[in-house]
Amino acid sequence: MKLPVSFLRAYFYCSVLPYMLAQGIVRGSDLSARGTRLHKAYLELSVKASKLVEAGLDPTDAVNSTLSDIINLLKELNSPNPVSEARILADFRTRVGFAGFPVKCEVELESDLLIGRVDLIEGYTPIEVKTGRISRGDIFQVVAYTLLMDIEPEKVAIDYIPRGRVWINVTRELVDLVKKTIPKVAETIVEPKIPERKKMCRTCSYRAECSLLFPR
């Protein structure tokens, strides 16, 4: 079985989470309804606006030209405030700019070991889109995508909406760390280690499923 790159991120949240994901006991995404909506609309906005920039439009004008489409999409996605959410996304997109062209979204990548779907590729730069806080797992996830690309980029990025774009240098040390983590994650899927009682268990959204699997 090829290891989904998202399992690497999950592993840093908790070492048993990849097992629960592999068994289909929990879902892959921990995004709220708002997070899911903003994520989808941002990808759509990014691709549409990038095509206008490639056609010669100023980036700010390109983003603003897509606003009505994004408002409609957010309405379809049951946004309680589509205009303000579209404005948040447009302002963010204008602020971070484009790392390169073309801009593609939800690009499926795979190697002998790994499989994944990167949110955005701008030129040769893979970019993950998140609405939460920065985490080590996010960094490992986006760096892992570089192992699946034909051209290894020097930098990758994570767009934390609405905070900003975080750039990560793809150093040899970081890539080696990611590579070393892959077999550990693969191992936990076959043989999950019963986790120590953790402080974060109290607020973990997977607590119910976890205590059924690992009664303590």
- Residues of this chain that bind ligand SF4 (CB under 6 A): 14, 16-17, 195, 198, 200-201, 204, 206-207, 210
DSSP letters spanning the chain: -PEEHHHHHHHHH-TTHHHHHHTTSS-S----HHHHHHHHHHHHHHHHHHHHHHTT--HHHHHHHTHHHHHHHHHHTT-S-HHHHHHHHHHHHHHH--SSSSEEEEEEEE-SSEEEEEEEEETTEEEEEESS---HHHHHHHHHHHTTSSS--SEEEEEETTTEEEEEE--HHHHHHHHHHHHHHHHHHHSPPPPPP-GGGGG-TTHHHHHHHS--
Least gap, CB of 201 to ligand SF4 (angstroms): 3
Least gap, CB of 27 to ligand SF4 (angstroms): 13
Q: Which is nearer to ligand SF4, 153 or 192 (CB)?
A: 192
Q: Which is nearer to ligand SF4, 172 or 202 (CB)?
A: 202
Least gap, CB of 15 to ligand SF4 (angstroms): 7
Least gap, CB of 21 to ligand SF4 (angstroms): 10
Q: Which is nearer to ligand SF4, 80 or 215 (CB)?
A: 215
Least gap, CB of 204 to ligand SF4 (angstroms): 3
Q: Which is nearer to ligand SF4, 190 or 200 (CB)?
A: 200
Q: Which is nearer to ligand SF4, 182 or 210 (CB)?
A: 210
